[in-house]
Structure 1
Amino acid sequence: MILVIGGAGYIGSHVVKELVQTKDVLVLDNFSTGHRWAVHENATMIEGDMGDKDILENIFTHYPIEAVMHFAAYSLVGESVQEPGKYYQNNVAATLNLLEVMVKSNVKKIIFSSTAATYGIPEGPVITEETPTNPINPYGRSKLMMESIMKDFSKAYGLEYVILRYFNAAGADESAKIGEAHDPETHLIPLILQNLAGDRPSISIFGTDYDTPDGTCIRDYIHVTDLARAHILALDALLEGAKKNAIYNLGNGRGYSVREVIEACERITGKKANVTMAPPREGDPARLVASSEKISRELGWKARYSLDDIVESAWKWNKQLKATV
C-alpha cells in the first residue's frame, strides 16, 4: 500500500487516479487546500495532518505501507513571504515529523514533490539538476531544506528518496472529473480561462520589457497527467531498487511566453481576453525552462502533452468545475 499525503490536492489527486490502477492507496489529507471530491473512489481516505504523530503512528501500525508520496506542502510564493512561519511549520517541521515516524516504522522509501523555486533566479537559458540552488523566497527555501534533511536521513537511517523538481503544472485529467481548483487562484492558465469564461474581468501581464522575443516572461508548462506519470515511474524505480536518492527536473523543455499562453487560450476557446498591463513583479526571472533529459534518460519519461493539449483540458475542466464545487 502507498501512502499519499496531500492526495486530495491538485497534483496529488491526479497521481492517486493513476496509482489506484496498480496499487492499494491510502490518502492522508487535512483538506486545508484539497477537496473531498478530488479523492479517487478506489483510495482509502483518512482526514488528518502529517504534523500529528498519533495519526501517523496509527497509519503505519495498521496499514502495510510500502512507500510514501508527499504532496502536502503549502506552495504560494507570495504568501510564503508574508507568512514564513506557516511555511516552515508545515513544509519543514511537519514533514520532519513524517520522516521521523517513517524511520521509526521502518518505512524508508519516499517520493518528494519539490519545486523549481529551489533554483531561485538561475543563470543560463535552461535549468538542469546541476544548476545551483539559490531560492529567493521562504517557499523555495522550505523545499530545499527538506531536500537537505532527506539527504541527512539517508546517511543516518537509510532513507531512500526520489525528489521531483517541477515547474508550472497545468491542465486537467482528460475525464474532467478533477483539475485545478485553488482559492485564491494564482496560476496563469486558469486565470486566463476564468477571464475568457466571464468569471474574471481581466488578465494582467506583469512586465512587457523582459529580454525575451515578445517582452513577456517565459515559463515551462507541464500537463498534470505527465507529472503524475513521472511520479509513478519514480515510485516503481524506487520500489524495485532501480533508483534511490535521485533528483529529477520535470518540464516540457520548451518555454512559452505569457503572450503565447494567452494566445493559445484564445485559440482554443475562440474567445478574446481582456488583457491589462501591470508593472513587473519583483524577483520574476525573464525565463525559466527545465531540462528533463536526466529523467528521460534514466526512467524513460517524456512529456506527451503540448500547450494546446494543456489548455484544452483546462478549458474542459473549467466548464465542469462550476458543477463540481
Structure 2
Amino acid sequence: MTGTGKRALITGINGFTGRYVAAELSAAGYRVYGLGSAPSDEADYFHVDLLDTVQLSDVVKTIKPDVAIHLAAIAFVGHGDAKAFYDVNIVGTRNLLQALYDSSHPMDAVLLASSANIYGNSTEGQLAETAPANPANDYAVSKLAMEYMAKIWLDKLPILITRPFNYTGVGQADNFLLPKIVKHFKEKSPTIELGNIDVWRDFTDVRALSKAYVELVKAQPRGEIVNICSGRTYSLRKVVELCEKITGHHLEIKVNPAFVRANEVKTLCGNPEKLRAIIPDWEVPALEETLRWMLENE
C-alpha cells in the first residue's frame, strides 16, 4: 500500500516525534493533517484538546483520515502531575478512537504509540512483546491501561500498538538524557551531573522510528503489538565516551544522588524480531551515528 492521495492524521504533530513522522508520511505520498495542544498557523493543523470530545469529533469528521498515528501523550516520566498522565494517555486516546469511529470514514490503520516502559524493571535480557508487563511508574501504568482500553475497539477500528524503547535525535527536549549529554558537549562544559550511569538502554534513532511507524501503517498488522527497538544496548557511561570520541572534549561525570531513580530499570533491551518480520529491511543507525548527527546540528 502507498499513501498516494490518502489522508493521514497525526496527534501531537508539533512534538519531537511528530515532526519526523509527518515528513516521513509526506514522503510516502500522504496528505498530513495535525492535531496539537498549542495554537499554530501551519496549514492542515488543528488546535484541539483531546479531552474536548465535541471539538475533537468535529475536526476528525472534517479531516476524514485514512490512517491515524496517535503520538499525543504526556511522555516525560518525571512529569509531576499524575492525573495528567491518565487524562491524556487514557481518556484522550479513548476520545480519539470514539471520534475516528463516529466519523464513519473507513480506515486503513490506527497506530497508537504506547511505550516499552510498560515492561517495568524486573525482566533482564531481550524483551519480546510477550514479556510480562510490570509498570513501575504512573506514565507506564497509563500506557498499559491505554493498551487494554484500545483492545475493546479492535472490532471497530484497525488498531495496532507500538512499544518504542528509548529513542533520540535532533530536536528532543533537554530534560531527556541523551539531549542533555549532547548539550553539555556542545557547550564544552567541564562537568555533567547524572544519575546512575551504569544503566543500559536500547536506543533507536527518531528517523528510524518514524520510518517504522509509516511502514507499519502501510503493512496494517491489525491488532498486533510491536516493539520498536534496535536489540542493542549502551550504558550512559558509553554514551559519554562516544560523545568524547566524536568531539574530542572530555567531560567529568558527577553522580548526583538526587538524579538516581529508586525504581530504575538496570537493563532495558528490546527484541526487534517481530518488527523485522513485518518490515524486513528496517535498519537502525549505530548510536555513534545518531550522536554525531545531534552534536553537529544546531
The two structures share one fold, judged by TM-score above 0.5: yes
Give the structure-2-normalised TM-score: 0.90
What TM-score, normalized by structure 1, do the two folds share?
0.83
Hey, what does 1:152 align to over in structure 2?
152
The alpha-carbon deviation at position 66 of structure 1 amounts to 0.9
Please report how far the alpha carbon of residue 105 of structure 1 lies from its aligned counterpart in structure 2 after TM superposition.
1.3
- Aligned partner (choices 202, 222, 225) of residue 220 of structure 1: 202
1:93 aligns with 2:100: no
- Work out whether 1:186 is the aligned partner of 2:166: no
Equivalent in the alignment of 2:4: none
- Residues 188 and 249, structure 2, Cα contact 8 Å, conserved in 1: no
* Structure 1 position 285, deviation (Å): 1.7
C-alpha contact 2:219 2:278 (8 A) present in aligned 1: no
Question: Per-residue displacement from partner, 1:267-293 (whole Å, max 9, x unpaired)?
Answer: 112211231023332111211111101
* Superposed displacement of residue 204, structure 1: 2.6
Q: Could you say what secondary structure the match of 2:75 adopts?
A: coil
In the alignment, structure 2 segments of 5+ residues that lack a partner are 1-6
SS in 2 for 1:163: strand
Contact preservation (8 Å) 1:204, 1:278: yes
User: 1:162 corresponds to which letter in structure 2?
Assistant: L
Report what 2:35 is aligned to.
28
Distance of 1:199 and 1:27 partners within structure 2? 37
| Alignment pair present for 1:2 and 2:8 | yes
**Percent of counterpart pairs with the same letter?**
28
Superposed, 1:107-186 pairs within 5 Å as 107=105, 109-155=109-155, 158-172=156-170, 179-180=171-172, 182=173, 185-186=174-175
Q: Pick one of 244, 258, 276 that aligns with 1:296.
A: 276
- Deviation track 1:105-136 (CA, whole Å, cap 9, x = no partner) reads 12553101111111111323111101101111
CA displacement, residues 174-229 of structure 1 (integer Å, 9 cap, x when unaligned):
xxxxx22x2xx222221112111228673234236xxxxxxx11101100000000
1:309 partner amino acid:
E
Q: Comparing 52-61 with 161-170, which one deviates more in the overlay?
A: 52-61
User: In 2, distance between residues paired with 1:7 and 1:199?
Assistant: 32
Aligned length, in residue pairs: 287
Q: Indicate the residue corresponding to 2:48 in structure 1.
A: 48
- How far apart are the structure 2 equivalents of 1:67 and 1:288? 31
Q: Secondary structure at the match of 1:8?
A: coil
Partner of 1:323: none
CA contact (8 A) 1:192 1:273 kept: no
Aligned structure 1 segments of 4 or more residues deviating by more than 4 angstroms = none
Paired with 2:37 and 2:281, the residues of 1 have a C-alpha distance of 31
Which aligned pairs between 1:238-257 and structure 2 lie closer than 5 A? 238=220, 243-257=221-235
Aligned partners of 1:122 and 1:132 also within 8 Å:
no
